[in-house]
Amino acid sequence: MRIRIVPRLERFHHSDIRRLLSGTIFSVGFVVLLVQCFGIPSLNWSQVKVSVIDLSNSNVTQVSVTNYINLSYVDDGNGYDEDLGRENDVVISKEKVEINVSVISTPNISMRKTNMVVESSVSSDPDSVLVRSKDIRKSDVLITRRHRSVAVVSISQMNSLLNQSFASFKSPKPRWSSARDSEMVSARFEIEKASFVHDNLGLSASVYRNISKFQRSYDLMERKLRVYVYKEGEKPIFHNAMTRGIYASEGWFMKLMESNKKFVVRDPRKAHLFYIPISIKSLRSSLGKEFQTPRSLADHLKEYVDLIAGKYKFWNRTGGADHFLVACHDWGNKLTKKSMKNSVRALCNSNVAQGFRIGTDTALPVTYIRSAQSPLEYLGGKTPSERKILAFFAGSMHGYLRPILVQLWENKEPDMKIFGPMPRDPESKKKYREYMKSSRYCICARGYEVHTPRVVEAIINECVPVIIADNYVPPFFEVLNWEEFAVFVEEKDIPNLRNILLSIPEERYIGMQARVKAVQQHFLWHKKPVKFDLFHMVLHSIWYSRVHRIKTR
């Protein structure tokens, strides 16, 4: 007896039914493919809870991870408006871990993959055992990125990268020669041969990599540098100086640059550098919903570059290498890395693992300004002997790192004042400032991105910054010797934070605190710029980068 195996579709005797079924299967498969590629647009929030448990040990370590992706803004507990839209990260440990994750989908405005919110909370179950920091070896805490493992570049390795960049990297060869290029090449030669100077103009030599070269470079900048500011572009995206809030650095520089009579020239043929007066913050917030993806915003910036390249000859001469942009918004790097790949970019988001180029780009300080009329308010702090608190931190739980910092150190040691977000009332804000002015070390933990306004806040309050942000290049890195007035702690070493700080000798701390006061003048905005202030230091960093990268025919 023969057995015939009949395919499923042939079991139907009517050909129309078979075709209908085949079409249905094809349609369902196509829809599934579309969902996988683009996500499902949703006008309502939906939540999915996921628990991940590692049973490798009997102890339980609960790690809090919070990371948001959205198209809105959130107000930090201490008054900082931090933009959302960062890459999700996950923190795990080798101990038994329970992570409760909420996945929240938002409207798919751009027809790309659905935006997700990853949010976890620390369990308040009294039966769970929380492992204190002293029970966790620093090798037991691992940080893994969602997309790929990112190697940590230490501060000493950054120093090596800086030296290598000056020795090897050059900008594109210009299409034709310029007298301005010759002047900058001459300036580079003078900087390199700078001899030791006895008159430091009130500067503390120890906070600089080479104070003689810095002074010579700064003096040449003041005497020679000329900048052309493009008039093209309309407000609010261009020529719109926003001088309050967390993105104030790009606004203050724009305001002071465009009104400057010393450096700015009307004739572009006399310019050594060309400034594109765009606010990435305004670009991000001013366009409609159809322009809310990095790609669409980058295309909008590219249109402007094409405009000035078509109207003037200067961009095309160097491929944009003598042009610069100042951007404090988180997206400054990703929006400019293609259209301005040869240009000097002053960026707050100076993450060397995400495309920040040491020696080419310059690190811009994040300065949270509450009052544009009083940018220097609350300046100063207590003497070292009056600072009884070892370390202080307070802030919203942005990103993956801060929840771990608070989980490990809140209410653990009397000299460690580590908190989450503080209330917004005037009394709490005053208490926040008093903590900074009364602490030896101020913890500057990364949020969604590596940068944070707490670095400048610490310096303003004369508190030694403790920077916990892997791959973060600190401001004015090309001239300042940050290890002389700041402490760098790798993210994996948070469990040992207190021991690291206690291991610093008293004499060393007193010297660092004095150098914080000495470097303070470089981190202050003035309504009318003064020598060595923040405006001049940002401009000097841009000048310094161009001088050391310039190439002539």
Identify residue 359 by its one-letter amino acid code.
G
Q: Are residues 261 and 319 in the same domain?
A: yes
Closest CA relative to residue 345, chosen from 330, 364, 329: 364
Confirm whether 440 is domain-assigned.
yes
Confirm whether 62 is domain-assigned.
no
Lowest mean pLDDT among 49-58, 185-194, 298-307, 485-494: 49-58
How many domains does one find in the chain?
2
What is the C-alpha separation between 448 and 85, in angstroms, rounded?
Answer: 8
pLDDT confidence of 412, banded at 50, 70, 90?
A: very high
pLDDT of residue 73: 34
Q: Are residues 311 and 243 in the same domain?
A: yes
Please report where in the chains the tokens 């769970």 appear, as a residue: 128
Q: Are residues 323 and 178 in the same domain?
A: yes
Confirm whether 120 is domain-assigned.
no
Confirm whether 538 is domain-assigned.
yes
pLDDT confidence of 288, banded at 50, 70, 90?
A: low
Q: Are residues 223 and 354 in the same domain?
A: yes
Answer yes or no: is pLDDT of 336 > 80. yes
Q: Are residues 220 and 337 in the same domain?
A: yes
For 62-113, what is each residue's pLDDT tens digit?
A: 433 333 333 233 334 343 434 333 333 333 333 333 333 333 333 332 323 3
| Residue 539 backbone class (left: φ over 0; alpha: ψ -120 to 50; beta: rest) | alpha
Please report where in the chains the tokens 């179950």 appear, as a residue: 125
Buried b (16+ CB within 10 A) or exposed e, 310-339: eeeebbebbbbbbbbbbbbbbbbbbbbbeb
Confirm whether 266 is domain-assigned.
yes
pLDDT of residue 166: 78
Q: Are residues 463 and 508 in the same domain?
A: yes
Q: Are residues 533 and 464 in the same domain?
A: no
Angle between helix 534-549 and helix 248-258 axes, rounded to 10 deg: 80
pLDDT confidence of 210, banded at 50, 70, 90?
A: very high
pLDDT of residue 289: 65
pLDDT of residue 52: 35
Answer yes or no: is pLDDT of 287 > 60. yes
What is the C-alpha separation between 201 and 239, in angstroms, rounded?
Answer: 34
For 462-493, what is each residue's pLDDT tens digit?
A: 999 999 999 999 999 999 999 999 999 999 99
Q: Are residues 429 and 281 in the same domain?
A: no
Closest CA relative to residue 325, chosen from 295, 297, 310, 305: 305
Q: Are residues 357 and 411 in the same domain?
A: no
The domain of 281 spans: 155-165+172-371+529-549
pLDDT of residue 217: 97
Q: Are residues 469 and 348 in the same domain?
A: no
The tally of CA atoms less than 13 A away on the side-chain side of residue 375 is 24
- The percentage of the chain sitting over the pLDDT mark of 70, rounded to a whole number, equals 72
Q: Are residues 338 and 457 in the same domain?
A: no
Helical segments of 313-425, H only: 314-318, 332-336, 401-409
Q: Find which of 2-6, 298-302, 390-394 is predicted with most confidence, using mean pLDDT.
A: 390-394
Q: Are residues 268 and 398 in the same domain?
A: no
Mean pLDDT of 450-462: 97
What is the C-alpha separation between 238 and 236, in angstroms, rounded?
Answer: 6
Confirm whether 415 is domain-assigned.
yes
pLDDT of residue 81: 38
Q: Find which of 6-10, 332-336, 387-391 is predicted with most confidence, using mean pLDDT.
A: 387-391
CB 463 within 8 A of CB 440: yes
The two structure tokens encoding residue 518: 């000495």
pTM score of the predicted model: 0.76
Confirm whether 10 is domain-assigned.
no
The two structure tokens encoding residue 529: 């710029």
pLDDT of residue 35: 54
